[in-house]
Amino acid sequence: MEFSAEQIAGLLGGIIEGQKDIKVNNISKIEDAQEGTLAFLANPKYTSYIYSTKASIVLVNNDFKPDKTISATLIKVEDAYKAFASLLEIYQQYKSNKIGISDKAVIEKTAQIGEDVYIGANVYIGENAIIEKEAKIYPNTYIGDRVTIGEHTTIYSGTNIYSDCLLGKYCTVHSGVVIGSDGFGFAPQTDSEFKKVPQIGNVVIENNVEIGANTTIDRATIGSTRIKNGVKLDNLVQIAHNVEIGENTVIASQTGVSGSTKIGKNCMIAGQVGFAGHLNIGNNVKIGAQSGVHKNIPDNSILQGTPVVPYREWYKTASILMKLPEMKVTIDKLKKQIES
C-alpha cells in the first residue's frame, strides 16, 4: 500500500518541504534507505545521512535546518521520533488488517463472536467465551471457557488463555504466552509431601496492555491476578498468582514477580529482577537489572543490587569490589609485617 507525502503529513500534522505527491510503500533506516521508502532523523549523530539517503521521504524535527541540498522530501513535525512511532503503528494496523473466520477454527456454539474479527486456523474458542469486535486471534491459539477478549485486541499464534480470564481493549499478546495457568500453590504436609492448593481465581488484563512472547501470568488462588491499563511486559516474564501490576509500568525480560506482590504505577523494572512474595512496591520506582527485591519499596525509589539498595550506594559498593584483589595483596603484606 502506498502513501503520499501529503497523506503522511495529514496523518502527523506535519509540514512538507518538497514534493507533496511523492509516494512511499515501505519504511527504512535513514543510513541504508532505498527509493520509495520513508525514514526519519531524530538523533543528531545521523544528520550526515540525510544528505546522501535514497529515502523518498524523511521525517525531521521542526527546528531542522539543512546545510546543503537534500534530494528527499522532508516532512517537518514537532518530534520526529514520536511521529515515526505513530506512523509505524498506523502501518502495522494496515499490514495486519485481517478479517474473517477460518473454516479450520473450532468455536463452541455458546461463544459470542463480534463483528469484523479475525480467527485463524486451528484456533479453539471455548464455551461462553466472548470475542469482541475487531479482535484478532492468530492460528493455533487456545481460548478457554468464559474468556473475554476485548475490542481490537490481538492474540498471536500459539497463545493459551485458560478459562475465566478477561482481556481488555487494544491489548497485544505475543506468541507463546500462557495466561491463567495455576499459581504455584502447594501446602507442606506432615510427611514432608506437598498438597496442591486449588487455584480458583482468574487473570484480569485491562486495556492497552502488551505482553511479550513466552511470558506467563498465573491465575489467582482466590480473586484475580491483575495487570492494569497500559502495562508493558517483555518476553519471558513470570507473573505469579495474585500479583498486581499498576498502570503504565514496564517490566523487562526474565523478571519474576512472586505471589501476592503489588507493584505500583509508572514503574520501570529492568531485566532479570527477582521479587519476593507479598511485597508492596510504590509508584514511580526504578529497579536496575539483576536486582533482588526482598522488602517493601517506597514511592520514587531508584534501586540496584542484591539485596536492593539505593543505586548510588550500589555503585559505590561495586567500585570497592573491583579493588578487592589489590586490597587483598596490601592486607597480606601488612599481615606479614605485623607477624614479623
pLDDT tens track, the chain, 340 positions? 788 999 999 999 999 999 999 999 989 999 999 999 999 999 999 999 999 999 999 999 999 999 999 999 999 999 999 999 998 888 777 777 889 999 999 999 999 999 999 999 999 999 999 999 999 999 999 999 999 999 999 999 999 999 999 999 999 999 999 999 999 999 999 888 999 999 999 999 999 999 999 999 999 999 999 999 999 999 999 999 999 999 999 999 999 999 999 999 999 999 999 999 999 999 999 999 999 999 999 999 999 999 999 988 988 888 888 888 899 999 999 999 998 8
CA 93 to chain centroid:
18
Q: How many angstroms separate the Cα of 75 from the Cα of each of 40, 80, 120, 164, 238? A: 9, 9, 38, 47, 42
Residue 47 is placed in which grid cell?
Answer: 544528520
H or E segment at 73? strand 73-77
Residue 93 has what pLDDT? 74
Q: Is the peptide bond before 298 cis (omega within 30 degrees of 0)?
A: no
Which residue matches cell numbers 514511580? 284
In the chain, the amino acid numbered 260 is S
Whole-number pLDDT of residue 241: 97
The alpha carbon of 181 is separated from its chain's Cα centroid by a whole number of angstroms, namely 20
Q: What is the pLDDT of residue 159?
A: 98
Q: Give how far Cα 308 sits from Cα of 93, 237, 305, Å.
A: 41, 20, 5
Looking at residue 89, its pLDDT comes to 82
Q: Label the pairing between strands 262-263 and 216-218.
A: unpaired
pTM of the model: 0.82
Delineate the domains of the chain, giving CATH numbers in brackets.
3-95 (3.40.1390.10), 100-314 (2.160.10.10)
Instruction: Characterize the bridge pairing of strands 309-310 and 302-304.
Output: antiparallel
Report how far residue 168's alpha carbon sits from residue 212's, in angstroms, rounded to the nearest whole number. 16
Measured CA to CA, the distance from residue 61 to residue 90 in angstroms comes to 20
In this predicted structure, what is the pLDDT of residue 151? 97
Instruction: Please tell me the predicted confidence (pLDDT) of residue 320.
Output: 86
Catalytic residues: 241
Q: What Å distances lie between residue 170 and 116, 132, 155, 324, CA to CA?
A: 15, 11, 10, 52
